[in-house]
Copies of this chain bind each other. A is one copy, B any other.
Amino acid sequence: MKNITEMLKGVLEGCVLEIISRGETYGYEITQHLRNLGFTDVVEGTVYTITMRLEKNNLVDIEKKPSTMGPPRKFYTLNAAGQEQLEIFWEKWGFISSKINELNTKNKGEIQ
């Protein structure tokens, strides 16, 4: 899927929050996870800016651990504020997606 950049705005961060909420993970792994999910064009730099933002906003706890396969990894876990933010994200997503889908189905009904 190409040129979905703009549509991902505000959504990717929520996805990252969700992924972190399942258990501690690090930037590179988050990127792989997103790619496996279907967002194949997401690159490390993008995820990095998101995790930096989460750090800055104090939504995650951080622990640095050595890796046998490269430089040390920065593991993230959601804290209470992060959990709250995640819930807010799903509320927003639910709101918007319901409205958009409403718009879509309404149209289908009128045209045919």
Rounded to whole angstroms, the CA-CA distance of A40 and B8 in the bound complex is: 22
A107 touches B11 (CB 8 A): no
Instruction: Report copies per complex.
Output: 2
A92 touches B7 (CB 8 A): yes
B107 touches A100 (CB 8 A): no
B7 touches A96 (CB 8 A): yes
B4 touches A92 (CB 8 A): yes
Additional A-B contacts beyond A14-B100, A18-B107 (17; CB < 8 A): A1-B95, A1-B96, A4-B10, A4-B95, A4-B96, A6-B9, A6-B10, A7-B11, A8-B10, A8-B96, A9-B9, A9-B10, A11-B96, A11-B100, A21-B107, A22-B110, A39-B99
B18 touches A93 (CB 8 A): no
A contact face: mostly helix, strand, loop, or mixed = helix
Minimum CB–CB distance from A97 to chain B (whole Å) comes to 5
Q: Nearest 3 A-B pairs (CB), nearest first?
A: A6-B10, A7-B10, A9-B9
A67 within 8 A of B: no
